[in-house]
């Protein structure tokens, strides 16, 4: 806004340049005003010594009053031993809060700032769930089960304030996003795109391009659900896209993310679950799901579920979905307990 070090002629230094800057770049400042109205800003490395931003915020607060957004700033705390500078900083911070609605988080040293920003990001995305799922060649019973399961899961995720993101995997992606969109629409949810987002592959992407795309998506999430995941052409499920996405997510985050495979769906999801259960102490949020799964009368419960043995299919599905939601909520609490430096 005040120039770029890579473009010396753009840098604003004098007051005269500051006065003409807003006139020359009025389209930019119109856009800034719109963003300050609808979004929350985090100011890092900004001294507020010029009035380019503060004047805009003050004008908006006059119009919007109590509905004006709150903004945030991260600054290094002045050494209290430097009495005058310390008092000046305290005065300026009170002014920012009172007159402009800007809350300030103080750090003792600049090295803390990336950690604080990472934690803020974690809080922002902790209810965003990426669902990795595909089913290429299901039986009629499996197709029926997958359709009803995704319908129930989508509704329950939304009710529990989770936002759904999906890569539109074979068959399951369509079932899931269709159910989620319909539920959001029927509940008159504003800004549906903030609760449901689709991130499909390009049709003609190579496997290398798909993996590059997977990695870019994975870095935006810390909660993953894995469902089904049969492989094409009679390959083992460990060659499926679902299993690949689990491996890539774990490589990126290790135990610093939440992975919830739904073992009752079989295939790659069951393989992921089995792999995680070998190190269950690293994934304590899955313990109840592990017990629930072990209590079922066979290793893969899909056959019992679709046949309705002992219970109706809807009762089975409700139990599977509840077990999944409980694991997610436990995972969020587990991640929240991590210290700031992790």
Kindly report the backbone phi and psi dihedral angles of residue 261, in degrees, each rounded to the nearest multiple of 5, phi listed first.
-80, 145
Contacts for 263 with CB less than 8 Å, ≥ 6 apart: 269, 270, 273, 274, 289, 293, 300
Q: What is the pTM of this model?
A: 0.75
Please count the other Cβ atoms lying within 10 Å of the Cβ belonging to residue 105. 15
pLDDT confidence of residue 201: 79
pLDDT confidence of residue 104: 94
pLDDT confidence of residue 303: 54
| Two tokens, residue 306 | 């679709």
d(Cα 83, Cα 92) in Å, to the nearest integer? 14
| Two tokens, residue 90 | 């305290």
Q: In what order do the strands lie in the sheet with 71-76?
A: 42-44, 71-76, 102-107
Q: What is the pLDDT along the chain (342 residues), one digit of tens a residue?
A: 555 556 655 555 555 665 666 666 677 778 888 888 888 899 998 888 877 788 889 988 988 888 888 999 999 999 999 999 999 999 999 999 999 999 999 999 999 999 898 888 877 788 899 999 999 888 888 888 889 999 999 999 999 999 999 888 888 888 998 989 998 988 888 778 888 888 887 767 788 988 898 888 888 888 999 999 988 777 889 999 999 999 999 999 999 899 999 999 989 999 999 999 999 999 999 999 999 888 764 444 555 555 555 567 778 889 899 999 999 999 988 877 766 544
Kindly report the backbone phi and psi dihedral angles of residue 133, in degrees, each rounded to the nearest multiple of 5, phi listed first.
-160, 140
- Check residue 194 and report its DSSP letter: G
d(Cα 302, Cα 205) in Å, to the nearest integer? 33
């Amino acid at each position: 806004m005040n120039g770029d070090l890579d473009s010396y002629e753009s840098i604003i230094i004098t007051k005269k340049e500051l006065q003409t800057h807003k006139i020359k770049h009025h389209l930019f400042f119109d856009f800034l005003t719109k963003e300050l109205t609808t979004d929350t800003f985090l100011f890092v490395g900004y001294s507020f010594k010029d009035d380019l931003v503060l004047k805009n915020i003050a004008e908006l607060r006059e119009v919007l009053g109590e509905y004006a957004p709150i903004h945030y700033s991260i600054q290094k705390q002045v050494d209290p031993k430097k009495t005058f500078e310390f008092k000046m900083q305290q005065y300026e911070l009170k002014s920012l809060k009172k007159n402009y609605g800007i809350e300030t988080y103080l750090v003792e040293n600049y090295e803390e700032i990336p950690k604080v920003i990472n934690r803020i990001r974690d809080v922002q995305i902790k209810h965003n769930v990426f669902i990795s799922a595909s089913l290429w060649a299901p039986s009629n019973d499996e197709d029926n089960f997958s359709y009803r399961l995704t319908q129930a899961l989508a509704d329950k995720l939304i009710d529990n304030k989770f936002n759904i993101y999906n890569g539109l995997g074979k068959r399951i992606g369509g079932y899931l996003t269709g159910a989620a969109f319909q539920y959001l629409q029927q509940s008159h949810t504003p800004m549906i795109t903030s609760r449901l987002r689709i991130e499909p592959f390009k049709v003609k992407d190579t496997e290398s391009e798909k993996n590059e795309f997977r990695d870019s998506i994975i870095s935006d999430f810390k909660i993953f659900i894995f469902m089904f995941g049969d492989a094409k052409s009679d390959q083992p499920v460990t060659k499926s896209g679902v299993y690949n996405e689990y491996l890539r997510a774990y490589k990126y985050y290790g135990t610093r993310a939440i992975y919830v495979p739904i073992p009752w769906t079989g295939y790659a999801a069951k393989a992921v679950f089995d792999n995680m259960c070998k190190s269950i102490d690293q994934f304590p949020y899955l313990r109840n799901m592990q017990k629930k799964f072990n209590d079922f009368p066979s290793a893969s419960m899909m056959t019992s579920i679709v046949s309705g043995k002992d219970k109706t299919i809807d009762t089975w599905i409700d139990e599977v979905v509840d077990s999944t939601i409980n694991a997610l909520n436990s995972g969020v609490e587990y991640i929240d307990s991590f210290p700031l430096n992790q």
